Structure 1
Amino acid sequence: MSILFETEYQGRRFVGFERPEPGKASVLHRVEDGQLAATLSEVRDPAALPDAIRSRTASVTVADADLKFLPPLLPTSTNNALVSGFMQTHASKMDGPRPSEGDVDPPKWFFKGFGSWLKLPGEPLVVPAEPKALIEEPEVVLVYANDEDGTPHYAGYTFGNDLCDIGLHRYNPAYNPYCKLCDTSISPWLHLGEPPTAVNGRTTINRDGEVAWEGSFDCGLDALYYTTGDMAENLLSTYPAVRRPGLVNYLMLGADSASFHAGFRIADGDVVDIEFTSHGVRLDNRVEFAKRSATV
């Protein structure tokens, strides 16, 4: 399956279509902020993006060490992007067999943050100073880009870690908007295909250089109770607020059990290392508890 990534090189924006390999040069194409989303609205097929961009732009070959990766399709000049997701989406958390599309009320939706809040592998994930109990949540992330008329176009999928304060949510479910106010990690690789049916991997949490907890997970579509139609398509077709022209939506499809459910508690300085083994993607991020800020 084809992928794309965006990167900064010498202060300018480029796109590549083959995942960089250590020690090897990468072929990049110069693009402007928002050009990929605009091209997507023309070709209407994520798989057609590479050829469309290659035919319109010149290429340059650069060393991998000089690349600074970006969240895929993130409009950095305008911050016109939203990160949000759905709760209790896995079949393991629900009673009964998976219903047919449209035969069930959609799951609860939450707002996670603006696109500029996304963090890449290797960057710290900052959380409030005194969380009750954090949880890592490995998830499939669907990416949609709205055209100039506000029509959403599916761009592809990537993977993320919806780190949040589940302890606060369990203390009082009405506080769920607060519990989501933690940084989110995202992979820079955008997969140009339909959402994956099977995704599996393993999470390792390291503390002071030692493994403190590890466990496996499954977050593919086959593990979900809801369909993407009952989640992403329902949200985007129902609410004009998420169809604003030029807006990019990062929609997180939910996670199954994780370290919290096994009795583990993430601490300040822990490194959460999530490997989506089935897709060769890794998210490794240090968790940092913020200091309380004085108000004026």
Structure 2
Amino acid sequence: MTVLFECIHDQARHIGLGIPDADTPLRLHRLREEDDLAALLAGGADEEERAAALTALLADRPAVEVAAEARHLVRTRPPLLPAHIGDALVSGFMMTHNVKIDTDTQGQPSWFVKGLGDILRMPGEPLSVPADAVAVCEEAEVVLVYVGDAQGVPRYAGHTFGNDLTDIGRFKQHAGHLSYAKLCDAGIAPWLHLGPPPRAATGEVVIERAGGPAWKGSFTTGSDAIHYDVAAMMDRLFAHRSLHRPGRVHYVYIGADRSSFHSGFRTADGDRVTIDVTSHGVRFEHPLAWVGSAAGHGGQGWGR
């Protein structure tokens, strides 16, 4: 499967291919100001077409190599993040997985909005939550990325992985407060996979506190673990014309397996959450920061 990432190097936009190994040089291609990567990828009907369009674009884009010791100067970006933050909408579905709902459940799962593009956080950056959060949990998820075409219709461009941080305690106190429970930052990995949404994605979550492990658990996600048909979910969501806008990038979190909360664990300010999607070679981490606290200040991290 073709995987790409975007970054800022030497004050300019670049693109790289694959998921780099730790502490190895990076081979990057400098993008031109007029390059619209989001529109390019959304124009492909399938992975093969998207990969071919990408190959054609990079054929005459200069390549540079960044030495391993200089990788910390390269800043990764959320996949296809538009220049104007308001042109990115971060949202998701809840209660989608088989382990969470009755097998006879019908219809469409509940949908929520997390915010605009500025709530997406790269690996190593802190995820902030409201100061009055009741009980916050991590949610390791597949994130689908769509781009509005010239008519505004969202077209699939690829997928990545993320952490849909949630104040599940607020939701448990009042089911009608889902919208408030979701207003936490969202972690996202920079690696955009151009293939279809994965049928299975498995891995492990580790939560560290005071420099040591405090909780660990495995997860299973992907379309096989979801009660609903993912394509039908997305078709029904994007049937709403209010979501149509040319160039708008949608980041849709499609639900999570059980979290640390379901094991009785309670996260705290300063905890560090690592999500390792071992099935796909993707690893990323974020410290948690309650708004108004001094803890949780982290720096740019690469993850994997």
What is the CA-CA distance between 1:38 and the residue it aligns to? 2.2
Matches within 5 A, 1:230-249: 230-236=232-238, 238-249=239-250
Matches within 5 A, 1:205-216: 205-216=207-218
The residue number in structure 2 matching 1:163 is: 165
The residue number in structure 1 matching 2:77 is: 70
Q: Give the distance between the partners of 1:79 and 1:49, measured in 2 at CA.
A: 27
Q: Is the 8 A contact 2:138 2:166 kept in 1?
A: yes
Q: Give the distance between the partners of 2:136 and 2:91, measured in 1 at CA.
A: 18
Q: Is the 8 A contact 2:85 2:118 kept in 1?
A: no
Secondary structure, aligned partner of 1:92: coil
Matches within 5 A, 1:1-296: 1-21=1-21, 22-32=23-33, 35-44=36-45, 45-63=49-67, 65=71, 66-96=73-103, 104-236=106-238, 238-291=239-292
Aligned length in residues = 286
CA distance 1:75–1:216, shift in 2 (3 Å): same
What is the CA-CA distance between 1:41 and the residue it aligns to? 4.3
Q: Is the 8 A contact 1:86 1:231 kept in 2?
A: no
What is the CA-CA distance between 1:42 and the residue it aligns to? 4.1
Q: Give the distance between the partners of 1:124 and 1:54, measured in 2 at CA.
A: 33
Q: Is the 8 A contact 2:8 2:74 kept in 1?
A: yes
CA distance 1:48–1:127, shift in 2 (3 Å): same
Secondary structure, aligned partner of 1:269: coil
Q: Give the distance between the partners of 2:85 and 2:95, measured in 1 at CA.
A: 32
TM-score, normalization: structure 2?
Answer: 0.89
5+ residue gaps in structure 2?
294-304
Q: Give the distance between the partners of 1:260 and 1:130, measured in 2 at CA.
A: 17
Q: Give the distance between the partners of 2:210 and 2:53, measured in 1 at CA.
A: 43
**Which stretches of structure 1, 4 residues or longer, exceed 6 Å deviation after superposition?**
none
Q: Give the distance between the partners of 1:14 and 1:207, measured in 2 at CA.
A: 35
Q: Give the distance between the partners of 1:147 and 1:183, measured in 2 at CA.
A: 27
CA distance 1:223–1:42, shift in 2 (3 Å): closer
Q: Give the distance between the partners of 1:62 and 1:211, measured in 2 at CA.
A: 33
Q: Letter of the 1:8 partner, please give it.
A: I
Q: Letter of the 2:75 partner, please give it.
A: K
Between 1:133-142 and 1:40-49, the stretch displaced more is 40-49
Q: Give the distance between the partners of 2:184 and 2:42, measured in 1 at CA.
A: 32
Q: Give the distance between the partners of 2:57 and 2:180, measured in 1 at CA.
A: 40
Secondary structure, aligned partner of 1:153: strand
TM-score, normalization: structure 1?
Answer: 0.91
Q: Is the 8 A contact 1:141 1:252 kept in 2?
A: yes
What is the CA-CA distance between 1:43 and the residue it aligns to? 4.0
Between 1:19-28 and 1:211-220, the stretch displaced more is 19-28
Render the CA deviation track for 1:232-286: whole Å, top value 9, x for unaligned: 22111x1112111110001111001110000000001100111111111112110
Q: Is the 8 A contact 2:136 2:169 kept in 1?
A: yes
Q: Provide the aligned C-alpha RMSD in A.
A: 1.8
Secondary structure, aligned partner of 1:253: strand
Q: Is the 8 A contact 1:87 1:109 kept in 2?
A: yes
Q: Letter of the 2:227 partner, please give it.
A: Y
Q: Is the 8 A contact 2:136 2:166 kept in 1?
A: yes
Q: Is the 8 A contact 1:29 1:53 kept in 2?
A: no
What is the CA-CA distance between 1:148 and the residue it aligns to? 2.2
CA distance 1:200–1:209, shift in 2 (3 Å): same
Q: Percent identity?
A: 45
Secondary structure, aligned partner of 2:86: coil
Q: Give the distance between the partners of 1:227 and 1:8, measured in 2 at CA.
A: 37
Q: Give the distance between the partners of 1:54 and 1:171, measured in 2 at CA.
A: 51
Q: Is the 8 A contact 2:81 2:249 kept in 1?
A: yes
